[in-house]
Every structure is written in structure tokens, then in C-alpha cells.
Amino acid sequence: MAKVLWRTEVRHLDRLPRSGPVIVVANHVGIADGPLLHGVIPRGSHFLIGGHMMEGLLGRILRVAQQIKVEGGGRQALAQAYEVLKRGDVVGVFPEGTRGGGTAESVHGGAAWLALRTRAPVVPVAILGTRLPGESVSAWPELRRRMLMDFGEATSLDTPQELKGRARQDWADQRVGEILRDHLAAVLPTTDLELPRDDPRAERAANEAQEAE
């Protein structure tokens, strides 16, 4: 997919540890992000995938690839991801939780929760080109489009010892967001590819709310 269907440039893959548990976090702009990132990682990887993606042909492919289905509050998915990390493998998370502008301004806490409990390092990945401004978040990119996946440095969460409980989790949530945003900020000036920044789902929801009024 990365090299035949599309023209994907993969940078700094050597920054991904070749052994041991790793949590890969990436910004999320389009439907191709997950399959592409899973494909370029040179180790077996298990991504947390929304249950709605586990339907039909794509769902069968994801299940065969041993991806992790997220349902409800996601507790069962996190428990599965925890076991993957404990055995020394790779877990992938899109902490924004849904496809959108890809700026990672708001992230969920699953990746941070896993990092705190397994001490696995976090590797950020900047994804660019899988969706352009104005395109649907559910549309596959046209053939041979140029894309970029840039891997950042592996970073451990060195939590301040005085933080406990909810404060510790809140700090970790913020830190994971910072790691991903800082990497995106470093990558964007190195390419002419841009984030779509628009969020079609949020815009559609806002329009529906206005119409309901």
C-alpha cells in the first residue's frame, strides 16, 4: 500500500526500538492512516481501532491482523493492549480518537495510561498527505498520492514522583499530547505537505445543531 498504491516517504524509521514494548502515537487525518502505519512498522503492531471499523471486508482484514477492537469505554481494549506491551510488542494509538484536522490539540488518555503502567516508551509519528483539506475523512486517497510518515524519538514518561492518582494521569495525558504536537511542529517545516486542519465531522455536527435550532 505504502509504495505501490501510494508514494509514501517514511522517515527516521530507525528511531523505532527494534525490540521491547513500544507505544506508537500518531495524528489522525484520514482512513488510510492506520493501515499505512501498521504496514510500515517493521515489527508486529496492534492498533486500537474503533468498533465501527471492524465491519465488512476491512473488519475481517483488521481482525486477521490482530488489531484491537475498541468498544464502549475501551477498558477491554486497554487490557488487551496492556498484555501486548507486557509481552514486549508494539501498540499503536491515535490519541485524538477520531479522524480530523490532525493537529493533536486534544488527545484522549489511553496511550498515557498504558505508558504509565508498562513504562513503555512513546514514539510519535507525524502523518501527512493521507487527507487533503475538504476531503471526506472516510474517503481513500487517490492512487499514487504523495504521503509522509515521520517517526520521532522514543520518549519515556518520567512522571514527577510527587504526583499521584488522577493528577499523575492528567500529567501523563498532557505529556503525550506535547510529545506528538512537538514532533508535528518539527516535521511540518521540512515538507510542503500540510495538515488538512479542517474537521468535517465537527463542522457537520455544528451545522446540524444550527439547523435544529
In tens, the pLDDT along 33-66 reads 998 999 999 998 999 988 777 777 777 777 777 8
C-alpha cell at 200: 468535517
Residue 174 pLDDT? 96
Q: How far is residue 208 from each of residues 97, 134, 137, 198, 205, measured CA to CA in Å?
A: 21, 18, 18, 17, 5
* Pair type for strands 7-11 and 68-70: unpaired
What domains sit in the chain, N to C, each tagged with a CATH number?
7-212 (3.40.1130.10)
In tens, the pLDDT along 84-110 reads 999 999 999 999 998 999 999 999 999
Name the pTM for this structure.
Answer: 0.89
In tens, the pLDDT along 107-147 reads 999 999 999 999 999 999 999 999 998 899 889 999 999 99
| Distance (Å, whole) CA 47 – CA 23 | 10
Categorize the per-residue pLDDT at 210 as very low, low, confident or very high, splitting at 50, 70 and 90: low
In order, the DSSP letters of 157-205 are ----TT--HHHHHHHHHHHHHHHHHHHHHHHGGG-S-------HHHHHH
Residue 197 pLDDT? 87
